[in-house]
Structure formats: C-alpha cells, structure tokens
Amino acid sequence: MLFTLPYPTIDPVLISIGPLPIRWYALAYITGLLLGWAYARALVAKKALWGRAAPLSSADIDDLLVYAALGVILGGRIGYVIFYNPAFYLAHPFDIFELWKGGMSFHGGLAGTIVAVYLLAKRKGLPVLSLVDICAATVPIGLFLGRIANFIKPELWGRPTDVSWAMVFPGAGPSPRHPSQLYEAALEGLVLYVVMVIVIRNGALKRPGLAAGIFSIGYAIARITCEFFREPDPQLGFLFGGATMGMLLSLPLIAAGIALIVYARRWPATPKTP
C-alpha cells in the first residue's frame, strides 16, 4: 500500500450565524478582495513606485474594489458556465445562481474584471492600463486564498499519483492524488506575488501595462504547469493531445502578456519628479 498523507478534513462551513452559514469558500473571496484593496491603496500612496504622484487616488481604489468584486463574481460564474459546464446549466438554468455550491472560472473572472476596470476608467477618466497594473499586483493574493479554499472544500483535486505526499480526497475515490490545489496556491499565489513585488519595486508601474503583461505570462505558465497535476473536470476530461481547458484558456494570456510588455517597453519610464 502506498504511503499517503492524511487529508486534514475541515468543515467547509467556518461558522453558522442562525440559518446563515459562513463558508471558507466565500470567506476566501471576501478576504482576498479586502487584502487586495488594502495593498492597492498602499501602492498608490508610494510616489517612488510611479516616478511621480500615482495617476490613481485612494478614492479610485475604493471604487475599483466595488467594480472588481462585481467583475470577479459575475465573470467567474459566467465563465464557468460557458467554458466548463454549458450542457448542465442549459438544462438547469436556475442552478447558475447557486454560487455557494462552487463553480468559478479564473479566466472568466479575469475577463469580467477587465470589463469592470474599463467601465470604471471610462466613467472617471482614469488610465486603463494603470488600473489593470494595480489589479495585476493584487490578484495573486486572491488566488492564494481561493486555492486554499478549493483544498478545504475539497474540489479541483489532482491526478492519481504514487508520490509520498499524495492524499485521498473525500469524494475522489480511493486513489491517492496530488494535492494540486496547494501547488496552485504556491505557484499562482505565493510565487507570482513575489514576482510582482520584485518587478514593481524595479519600476514596472512607471510603464503602464508592464506589470499586467508580466502577470499574464506568469499566471499562464503557473496554471499550465499545475494543469499537468490537476484532474480535469469530469464533464470535459482531456480535450486533445492531453490538453485541458485550463491550458487552452491560458494560452491567450501569454499572447496578451507579450503584447502588453512590448507596448509598455515602447515608451520611456515615467521620469522622477524633481
């Protein structure tokens, strides 16, 4: 029998307030948004990172929190419905609104956030790329917490394996599996956060679009890597040549990231304020 680590079963409901259950899943989204908001406010307050006063104010970041939250939730859910389970939701349309059962797409949430950021920029006359750069700096925080929530639920587990740290997940059958949620938390969350901190401290915010481009490529590489260990969604399986939906949806991010970096590098960095 293979050696496995015991899965640390955690109640997906953190606490119940009367008939209202507070789930780890929802708490991860809320905490990620609030921590991202606080970090974004700290970034716009540091002139040295921008080479001048930031083109965004703290009040703009407050508005961004609301817009981004709507973009993440609506885009994430719509993306999951379209990309991962259209047949089921076509047959059960009212289940689309049952967010507490899980089912969110990062790529859909990203698209929703981009639309929300564009609408905010148009309404307030703000630079779109600087808003996107701020989002790129903060997203790894939410990704880390979201993947931990996936682990606690548990969902999105890994493929069967014989590695010594494999786990038998409830609902995934008797086979030991990769704890791929933790791999994603590490790569998409912690590692990507460190990368973004480094590039921002080295002047990425002085070239609008540069931070967003680096994030796009970094996330795509991290996601594609983790997809080799993650079990594909059962209703989709492998698409062709061993590719998964997560891999295919990440490829356009690499192209978009390269385009943003090339665009950002065409312009000189914002000069320092004398």
- Give this prediction's pTM: 0.90
Q: What is the pLDDT of residues 9-50, one digit of tens each?
A: 788 777 877 777 777 878 888 999 999 999 999 999 999 999
pLDDT band for position 274 (cuts 50, 70, 90): very low
Distance CA 48, CA 231 (A): 44
Give me the mean pLDDT over the 65-92 stretch: 93
Distance CA 132, CA 56 (A): 11
First-to-last C-alpha distance (Å) of the chain: 68
CB atoms within 10 A of CB 168: 16
Distance CA 121, CA 242 (A): 40
Q: What is the pLDDT of residues 169-224, one digit of tens each?
A: 999 999 999 999 999 999 999 999 999 999 999 999 999 999 999 999 999 999 99
Question: pLDDT at position 97, please?
Answer: 86
Q: What is the domain partition of the chain in residue ranges?
A: 22-265
Q: Which helix (H) or strand (E) holds 68?
A: helix 58-83
Res 134 pLDDT > 60: yes
